[in-house]
């Protein structure tokens, strides 16, 4: 869904399915990182949480901008954060902090968000061409 400008501001980010899915991903990552080792509290646990939070935060920030070009830039940043989270989830699996089942679930969520972001960016690019 493309956003329309209303009174100089873009539509509410909470209406976007991609933001809703990114938010759900963050909540799941917070739940699963609670069980990471205590010595990872300021390492992988913190970094993974920040990276996942950055996805939804950048979607929200882009929605608060005045142009679709700016929105696309923030969606691109969100996509980069999603790729970073994908790697960190893989690292957590390899370190034994996540089960295969949990990793598969979280990985599927992050990849769905990445695909949605890329599709949204492409739609914005085609309307601005």
In CATH, 15-127 is 1.10.1040.10: no
User: HSE (CB half, 13 Å, CA atoms) of 96?
Assistant: 1
| pLDDT at 10 (0 to 100) | 54
Can you give the length of the chain in residues? Answer: 129
pTM of the model: 0.89
| pLDDT averaged per 10 residues in sequence order, the chain, 129 residues | 47 92 98 96 96 98 90 97 98 98 98 97 83
What tokens does 34 get?
């609670």
C-alpha 78: how far from its chain's center? 6
């Amino acid at each position: 869904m493309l956003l329309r400008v209303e009174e100089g501001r873009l539509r509410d980010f909470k209406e976007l399915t991609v933001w809703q899915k990114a938010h759900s991903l963050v909540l799941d990552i917070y739940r699963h990182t609670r069980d990471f080792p205590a010595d990872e509290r300021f390492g992988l646990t913190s970094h993974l949480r920040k990276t996942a939070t950055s996805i939804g935060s950048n979607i929200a920030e882009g929605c608060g901008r005045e142009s679709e070009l700016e929105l696309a830039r923030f969606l691109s940043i969100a996509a980069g954060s999603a790729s970073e989270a994908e790697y960190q989830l893989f690292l957590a699996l390899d370190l034994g902090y996540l089960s295969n089942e949990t990793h598969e679930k979280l990985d599927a969520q992050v990849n769905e968000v990445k695909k949605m972001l890329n599709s949204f960016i492409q739609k914005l690019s085609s309307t601005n061409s």
